[in-house]
Structure 1
Amino acid sequence: MAAHLLGAEGLHLEYPTRVVFDSLTLGVEEGDRIGIVGRNGDGKSSLLGMLAGRIEPQAGRVTRRNGVRFGVLSQGDDLEDGYTVGHSIVGDRPEHEWAGDPAVRDVIGGLVSDIPWQAKVDELSGGQRRRVALAALLVGDWDLIALDEPTNHLDVEGIAWLAEHLKRRWAANSGGLLVITHDRWFLDEVCTETWEVHDGIVEPFEGGYAAYVLQRVERDRIAAAAESKRQNLLRKELAWLRRGAPARTSKPKFRIDAANQLIADVPPVRNPLELQRLAVARLGKDVVDLEDVSVSFGDREVLRDVTWRIAPGERTGILGANGAGKSTLLGLVCGTVTPTSGRVKRGKTVRIGLLDQQFSQLADIRGDRVREVLARTRATFTIDGKEHTPAQLLERLGFAREHLSARVDDLSGGQKRRLQLLLLLLGEPNVIVLDEPTNDVDADMLAAVEDLLDSWPGTLIVVSHDRYLLERVTDQQYAIVDGRLRHVPGGVDEYLRLRSEQRSTPAKDRPDVARANPTPTNETISGAERRALQKELSAIERRLEKLAKTIESVHHEMAEHDPSDYEGLQQHTDRLRGLEAEVEELEESWLELSEQLG
């Protein structure tokens, strides 16, 4: 039986305007990896604050098992402005001590390798400061960790590193994790249980995000929930999870047959051919062409030799590390950045709508009430063949009626993001560019945004560190690597592999373009050569099969390994990397041989 780490009994929390929780009882056991979800403002951070002892409830109590070490990352930080980055993370420990600790080195390499070690905390950007606070927490030795929005300010690589770190931080059935996040990929990757905070209660679900959606739809069906709009939206989300990411829904142990019956007749979330036909009708064949474009700022070349012909109806996600040039690329598309060389050509009918991170679209209407803004917009908007008024569209995006009387400047960050998106859609662009659209938006809201974009017939370009959103709303991904734009058919996984190779290969040895080794065509292969190639191919397939079993065995050993034995874990990690490198090499050889055989 799992050992108890923390318990809460009869918690009551209220603020002058409302009761947040009443008589709340829950517990955390060894081995729990709990994701906390819910609408913004429903009490997720308050719950974490009470469990961590940072918020005092009006009634009830929180108890911890004797000796439990509890580390907390809240949305603010406790860093001292005058300290250096190094001191903030490792304190006064001598360098030989922390530098010789593989666990500390891993955290530093994963989160802050690009931040100067001697920089003062008050010189850092908000994002850098957040990463230092997270690193300072993770180098500690904790039985239980609580993280409030840890993926904010992390790029795709950083999020992937954090997920991997948390999965192998403790041995199976030991340690505990509580995490608030809107990153649905992260929830699926790390969490074994989901707590939904809503209506003053905490409702537990087994599994990560995909499992939570399945159970929530089934819960609503059994309860014959009145909120049919939200259920229909979740059904569509569920249809995508089942079709686009079947591996995720294979993880839960519970029966999902009843939930799957709900979506048996749900069509695919998008009809790409119909959307492309409508896009061509609205745009013509020319959208935006970037031809051999380079951009430099002073001596620094940000983008080089970029050629990208954007097609009508194209739905593309752009990946890249912080500072790689993603915003510069968007500026080229939108016309706000001028290339240093090359040319940008736009179709005559192109109308670009940009959702940026600064809410610039709302600057001129900050003092207006939301209903006044809506009154000036077009009368109706069509979604899935049905007419919607702006007010109905805003309601679909999660606005309550009382928000219509609020001034734009008084809205929360999430509400501003929704209004910004609404005004963007009502402006009837035929090209939409979204720059980090998930900031300040909860998971339910993201599902509503994705639902709207599913039926939008135009060209869509998305820059985001939210892996789930990218995979959900775009059909292909490009990455900026070494200043060049390259197609990544394998999506985020391929991009992460490229970045890993880039870090392990010295710049002087990296090819600017993929090496092309000429291989004999199948017309030039004799019978004997063909038999030899087939024999080699079979040998590679057998070796790959054997390697897959070995890798699985190493993963199992790591899960059972004593988490305090860092050297042993590092040996397992090094062995795993060697095996994975061999797999990659063999797969390359397999592809080459397959091409030769034709």
Structure 2
Amino acid sequence: MSLINVQNLNFAYDGSYDPIFEDVSFRIDSDWKLGFTGRNGRGKTTFLRLLLGELDDGGAISAQVGFDYFPFQVEHKEYLTADVVEEIVPDYQQWQFMRELSLLQVSDDVLYRPFNTLSNGEQTKVLLAALFLKEDRFLLIDEPTNHLDRQARELVSNYLRAKRGFILVSHDRAFLDNCVDHILSINRTNIEIQKGNFSDWWENKKRQDDYELAENARLRKDIKRLSEAAKRTSNWSHEVEKTKNGTRNSGSKVDKGYVGHKAAKMMKRSKSIEQRQQSAIEDKSQLLKNIESSDSLKISQLTYHKHQLVELDGVSIQYGERAVCGDVSFTINQGERIALSGRNGSGKSSILKLICGDEMTYTGTFRRGSKLKISYVSQDTSHLQGNLTDYARDNDIDESLFKAILRKLDFSRIQFEKDMSSFSGGQKKKVLIAKSLCERVHLHIWDEPLNFIDVISRMQIEELLLEHKPTILFVEHDREFCDAVATKTVEL
């Protein structure tokens, strides 16, 4: 066991007036299994780069362990997997690596295949197994679940649960709950560490938020009451002071000593009220700083003139000689929220593209309603560049609504001025989802929409779909999201 110390960390990128971290201090035990959470753009990747020494931390970070990053950048993907592993861990014992692969249910023959022929899931498992062979290292695991199917996620989560000494960036609630024992959260104004899994942290956060909201409401009432009391006391003091040079109602002379004593007493009371009011204002200013904006989103879907929008009956899709899926049968009816499930490579994306109107070679019966309008969110965000105003105009969507949705998904106004190519992976995905929510269509088709998107935004999107009940077909491996949203699951 050793400590990783962060002391008075301040960091901003060159040329930016927007600091990522300000006077941040905390400690990490190198034996912890640490889940790392926070909304997109808050600095999770920046912090990992600071730990790796890729950015100047100004001497704020000290550690007695070295750091390794996942996913490891493989230079020669055409090499055999065994050679790739040897580049990562030069002195590894093959039997130890085989043991790790067996825990991840990966067959031994992957060692003798070129690394670039492995599936995304196999590559993820091989790199994790190799990096955990290293000794006296603290592993920085950055979103390993992206593009992993549900079964692979469960395998990797169980594997990590048996390990220790890592920071795990993931937005999959079930994945985090299964394999971490502490949560490191980047909040709006600070970074904090709590013991427990994600659900423990979330419950604590909700309790703290509820307390602060109630306390804020109480202090607002107190401040208003004290302000009115101060005003009354000031008026009374003024009236008493005027009687010093006057007479009593009886016509007798005024007792100036009595009046002066009464005025002083009122002044003292006024000062006391003023101090209490100032104290309440200061207490109020300390609240609500870390409460996340999670306003509800909006969707207005067109109503189709028929109950059934799409039908597939015994559909098989082929690429050349290879069949990617076979004998697929299901319908999409108005109001259904359908989760398309299956292992990676089972043809989910191909089915989505067929329904969207892409040219595909298929057999079987496929019917799509005439003049059916579809909004599609793809996995790929690499095409996003330029500013948001031009993007809204080019896609013929309402710019004000588009940006309002992005604001609700935690975009700061400064992001609106930036080029989309500089956005984080999660922010790019939010652009695609916001665009889709602005489009007036009969059917939404989303292909792994939640990749890279933070937990709070996932919950907002989940609530949106449950509240407005649009017709949607989606592929998503987040178990909690699918269980909450889907009215029907189609397994390939």
TM-score w.r.t. the length of structure 1 is 0.60
Q: 160, 184, 187: which one pairs with 1:195?
A: 184
Residues 72 and 137, structure 1, Cα contact 8 Å, conserved in 2: yes
Shift of 1:401: 2.7
- Percent same amino acid among aligned pairs? 24
Offset, 1:343 = 1.0
Q: In the TM superposition, what are the counterparts of 1:266-305 in structure 2 within 5 Å? A: 282-305=304-327
Q: Tell me by how many angstroms 1:322 deviates.
A: 1.9
Shift in alpha-carbon separation, 1:48–1:160, aligned structure 2, 3 A? same
- Partner AA of 1:179 in structure 2: L
1:26 corresponds to which residue? Answer: 26
Matched to 2:322, the amino acid is R
| Counterparts of 2:95 and 2:290, CA distance in 1 | 56
- Paired residue type of 2:408: R
How far apart in 2 are the matches of 1:468 and 1:59? 40
Would the aligned equivalents of 2:184 and 2:194 in 1 still touch at CA under 8 Å?
Answer: yes
1:345 corresponds to which letter in structure 2?
Answer: R
Q: Secondary structure at the residue paired with 2:20?
A: strand
Ranges in structure 2 where 5+ consecutive residues have no aligned partner: 214-286
> What is the aligned counterpart of 1:162 among 156, 159, 172?
156
Deviation at 1:164, TM superposition (A): 0.6
For 1:296 and 1:151, locate their aligned partners in 2 and report how far apart those are by CA, in whole Å: 28
Tell me the alpha carbon deviations over residues 372-394 of structure 1, each in whole angstroms, 9 at most, x when there is no partner: 726985669xxxxxxx9444333
> 1:304 Cα shift?
1.9
**TM-superposed deviation, 1:114:** 9.5
Counterpart contact for 1:28–1:176, Cα < 8 Å: no
Tell me what 1:45 maps to.
45
User: Structure 1 residues 179 and 391 mapped into 2: Cα distance closer, same or farther (>3 Å)?
Assistant: closer
Pair 1:322-2:344 in alignment: yes
Judged with a 3 Å threshold, the aligned counterparts in structure 2 of structure 1 residues 202 and 401 are, in CA distance, closer, same or farther, namely: closer
Q: Distance in 1 between matches of 2:473 and 2:84?
A: 39
Candidates 140, 150, 168, aligned match of 1:179: 168
- Mapped pair 1:459 → 2:481: no
Residues 283 and 430 of structure 1 are in contact (CA less than 8 Å); yes or no, is this contact kept in structure 2?
no
Q: Is the 8 A contact 1:9 1:61 kept in 2?
A: yes
Letter in 2 for 1:213: W
Q: 2:60: which partner in 1? A: 60
CA contact (8 A) 1:280 1:312 kept: no
Deviation at 1:471, TM superposition (A): 2.5
Tell me, yes or no, if structure 1 residue 84 matches structure 2 residue 73: no
What number of residue pairs does the alignment pair up?
A: 415
Aligned residues of 1:35 and 1:194 also touching (Cα < 8 A): yes
Residue in 2 that maps onto 1:213: 202
Q: Deviations over 1:550-571 (max 9, x none)?
A: xxxxxxxxxxxxxxxxxxxxxx
Give, as a single letter, the amino acid of the residue that structure 1 aligns with 2:85: I
User: 1:438 aligns to what?
Assistant: 450
- Quick one: which of 420, 434, 437 aligns to 1:422? 434
Provide the C-alpha distance between the structure 2 equivalents of 1:42 and 1:228, rounded to a whole number of angstroms.
12
Amino acid at match of 1:353: S
Unaligned stretches of 5+ residues in structure 1: 170-174, 237-268, 381-387, 481-598
Q: Residues 120 and 312 from structure 1, CA distance in 2 versus in 1: closer, same or farther, beyond 3 angstroms?
A: same
* SS of 1:203 mapped into structure 2: strand
Structure 1 counterpart SS, 2:379:
coil
TM-score normalised by L of structure 2? 0.71
Superposition CA RMSD, Å: 3.8
- Code of the residue aligned with 2:307 in structure 1: it is K
Where does residue 540 of structure 1 map in the other structure? none
Residue 89 of structure 1 aligns with an amino acid whose one-letter code is V
Q: In the alignment, does 2:140 pair up with 1:146?
A: yes
Shift of 1:359: 4.4
Relative to 1, partners in 2 of residues 1:203 and 1:346: Cα closer, same or farther, differing over 3 Å? same
User: One-letter code of the match for 1:373?
Assistant: A
Equivalent residue, structure 2, for 1:9: 7
* Structure 2 CA distance for partners of 1:379 and 1:194, relative to 1, 3 Å: same
Cα deviation digits, residues 163-191 of structure 1 (max 9, x gap): 1112123xxxxx43321122222111112
Asked if residue 396 in structure 1 is aligned to residue 408 in structure 2, the reply is: yes
SS at the partner of 1:59? coil
Shift of 1:307: 1.6
Bigger mean CA offset, 424-433 vs 4-13: 4-13
**Where do 4+ consecutive residues of structure 1 move more than 6 Å?**
122-128
Distance apart, 1:329 and its partner CA? 1.5
TM-superposed deviation, 1:356: 0.9
AA in 2 matched with 1:295: I
More moved, 295-304 vs 370-379: 370-379
Cα distance change on mapping 1:15 and 1:304 into 2, 3 Å = closer
- After superposition, the Cα gap between the structure-2 partners of 1:285 and 1:80, relative to the gap in structure 1 and judged at 3 Å, is closer
AA aligned to 2:409 is L
Query: Residue type matched to 2:479 in 1?
Result: R
Which has the higher relative contact order, 1 or 2, with Cα contacts under 8 A spaced 6 or more apart? 2
**Contact 2:71-2:142 within 8 A present in 1 as well:** yes
Which is worse superposed, 79-88 or 216-225?
Answer: 79-88
Alignment map for 1:365-404 (pairs within 5 Å): 367=386, 369-370=388-389, 373=392, 377=396, 389-404=401-416
State the Cα deviation string for residues 400-421 of structure 1 (Å, max 9, x = none).
3333344555654433322322
* Contact 1:36/1:181 (<8 A) preserved: yes
Q: Residue 346 of structure 2: SS of its match in structure 1? A: coil
Mapped contact 1:35–1:179 kept (Cα < 8 A): yes
The CA deviation at 1:434 is 0.5
The structure number with the bigger radius of gyration is 2
1:31, 1:176 within 8 Å by CA — same for their partners in 2? yes
Deviations 1:95-121 (A, max 9, x none): xx62477633425634xx498433445
Structure 2 counterpart of 1:544: none
What letter matches 1:455 in structure 2? E
Aligned match of 2:216: none
Relative distance call for 1:79 and 1:351 in structure 2 (3 A) is same
Residue 98 of structure 1: which of 94, 100, 104 is its match?
Answer: 94
1:370 partner SS: helix
Q: CA deviation at 1:157?
A: 2.3
Aligned equivalents of 2:111 and 2:381: distance in 1? 33
Preserved contact between residue 443 and residue 472 of structure 2 (Cα < 8 Å): yes
Residues 164, 459 of structure 1: alpha-carbon distance in 2 compared, 3 angstrom cutoff: same
